[in-house]
Amino acid sequence: MQAGNCVGLCHNIPVNGAPFLECRGLRLILGGQPVLGGIDLAVPAGALVALVGASGAGKTSLLRLINRLLAPDAGQILIQGQDIMAQDAVAVRRGIGHAVQGGGLFPHWTVADNIGAVPWLLGWDRQRRQARALELMAMLELPAHLASRFPGELSGGQASRVGLARALAASPRLLLLDEPFGALDPETRDALADRLHALHRAQGLTTLIVTHDLADALLRADLMLVLDQGRIIASGPPTAIAANPHPAVQALLAAPLAQARALAGLTP
């Protein structure tokens, strides 16, 4: 399979033996409809992987399977060689940073409490949680005075940063981000994507990000997975994806490329 070969293809990723995350023959059926039809995937440690594809292609479902929010109908998911289905679901989730679609900040918790949610679940004391929340807020350029505010009082960009901080709080090795900057204006989105990229590198994270922003994926990801109707139709570094002749991949790329060319024509 293409995805399996990806490990060898990713020349800019350090690959030390076994992949960090591996999916084998994953199938998922929801309400009688096949959502994912045989996903094979190997992600090396430290990779920033962008999942792209049309709506309904199965990107979100793949993330949810990896975080055990859904159970596969067939196949295996291994993190560092361990089958996650054999482990306690709650423990698996606490070990993974997952920012769900729409953010899902708890409206009745302060920003600091939202960020400290997983540490609280892990039994950290109040002081340590507060310190961690402030540390992450500084890293994500959130003013400290927002710590005692409620999510309803935040701007879209601030809420997205809090969501990201919550996913990062307990220092997970694996980060799953589902359209984390979906509803933001392009400028904020770009700044936040850069910030995320830097954090990902600095913290040594392995990150899967679902995005509709092809330019972001092509410019910042180490690896891209293109999903179409529940299957991976292309995978590899952005340069390889850009050159992939598959009509569905080219259709996906057509719009951003045309836009880029048009923009290039505008500037003197």
Binding piece for other proteins, criterion CB under 8 A, among 72-80, 98-106, 127-135, 205-213: 98-106
Q: Nearer to other proteins by C-beta: 161 or 220?
A: 161
Binding piece for other proteins, criterion CB under 8 A, among 107-115, 139-147, 216-224, 234-242: 107-115
254 burial level (CB within 10 Å; 0-12, 13-18, 19+): exposed
Supply 203's token pair: 């913290």
Window 21 to 80, contacts with other proteins (CB under 8 A): 67, 69
Least Å distance between CB 100 and other proteins? 5
Residue selected from 59, 161, 166, 189 as contacting other proteins according to rule CB under 8 A: 166
Least Cα distance to 213 among 230, 192, 198 occurs for 192
Q: Nearer to other proteins by C-beta: 108 or 246?
A: 108
208 burial level (CB within 10 Å; 0-12, 13-18, 19+): buried
Residue selected from 103, 157, 230, 236 as contacting other proteins according to rule CB under 8 A: 103
Partnered with residue 22 across adjacent β-strands are 42, 78
CB atoms within 10 A of CB 89: 13
Helix (H) or strand (E) holding 96: strand 96-99
Please enumerate in sequence order all residues whose Cβ is within 8 A of that of 258, keeping only pairs 6 or more positions apart, or say none.
none
Q: Nearer to other proteins by C-beta: 78 or 168?
A: 168
| Residue 175 is a binding residue for other proteins (CB under 8 A) | no
What residue ranges bind other proteins (CB under 8 A)? 67, 69, 90-95, 98, 100-109, 117-118, 121, 166
